[in-house]
Amino acid sequence: MNTEKTYNQLIEEIKIDLNKLSNSEINMDEAILLFETNLQKINAAKKALEEYKGKVQKVLEDHQIEEFEI
């Protein structure tokens, strides 16, 4: 991957791959590769969410608004 993908891009790719994994015609080697690849995508998506959280907290701090829970 040359460029970092957005959270939404990663989630869409994970959804597509989950559909592939649901296909009974996929062989075990392909399934394992998809599984491993998607673990990396999930970790990247989690990292993106943490970055978004940090940005939201920074904006809130800069504007002196209390942090909120979602």
Q: What is the pLDDT along the chain (70 residues), one digit of tens a residue?
A: 437 899 999 999 999 999 988 887 889 999 999 999 999 999 999 999 988 887 777 777 777 655 556 6
Which of these, 60, 70, 36, lies nearest to 28 by C-alpha position? 36
Whether 68 maps to a domain, the answer reads no
> Phi and psi of 27, rounded to 5°?
-85, 165
Tokens of 57: 């907290």
Query: Structural domain of residue 49, as residue ranges?
Result: 7-61
Whether 55 maps to a domain, the answer reads yes
Look at the chain and report how many structural domains it folds into. 1
Q: What is the value of pTM for the model shown?
A: 0.69
Q: What is the rounded CA–CA span in Å between residue 34 and residue 36?
A: 6
Whether 51 maps to a domain, the answer reads yes
Whether 67 maps to a domain, the answer reads no
Residue 61: its pLDDT value, please?
75
Whether 70 maps to a domain, the answer reads no
Whether 15 maps to a domain, the answer reads yes
Whether 2 maps to a domain, the answer reads no
